[in-house]
Amino acid sequence: MWDQAVGPHPLPMYQVAFAPAQFAELVPYLMLAREGLTILVHPETSDDVADHSSHALWLGAVLPLDLEFLRKFARGEAAIPAHPSG
């Protein structure tokens, strides 16, 4: 959980990774149980810009993302900070 904006995300967020085999069960659950939260679901293809834009699935409002941060990250010009909890 991040209580501040991090990386390309403009708002605090909570990240959960899951295997592709869990998609069919987990995503419908999230659709029904999100209680107004916005959820970004995306693959991890090693192309972070595409994963967060053209490959993205939004549940709820589509939030603006800082795709330029991801481009800089791919070039080694930006870094995601260490999580505050260590």
- Residue 62 is part of a domain; what is its CATH number? 3.30.70.1240
**Domain region containing 56:** 20-74
Question: Considering the domain boundaries, does residue 3 fall inside one?
Answer: no
Supply the pLDDT for residue 20. Answer: 94
Question: Considering the domain boundaries, does residue 55 fall inside one?
Answer: yes
Query: With bands split at pLDDT 50, 70 and 90, how would you rate the model's confidence at 65?
Result: very high
Question: Considering the domain boundaries, does residue 24 fall inside one?
Answer: yes
Question: Considering the domain boundaries, does residue 44 fall inside one?
Answer: yes
Mean pLDDT calculated for residue range 78-85: 75
Query: With bands split at pLDDT 50, 70 and 90, how would you rate the model's confidence at 86?
Result: low
Question: Considering the domain boundaries, does residue 11 fall inside one?
Answer: no
Supply the pLDDT for residue 4. Answer: 81
For residues 25 and 18, the answer to whether their CB atoms sit within 8 Å is no
SS (H, E, C) 11-77: CCECCCCCCHHHHHHHHHHHHHHCCCCCEEECCCCCCHHHHHCCCCEEECCCCCCCHHHHHHHHCCC
Q: How many domains does the chain have?
A: 1
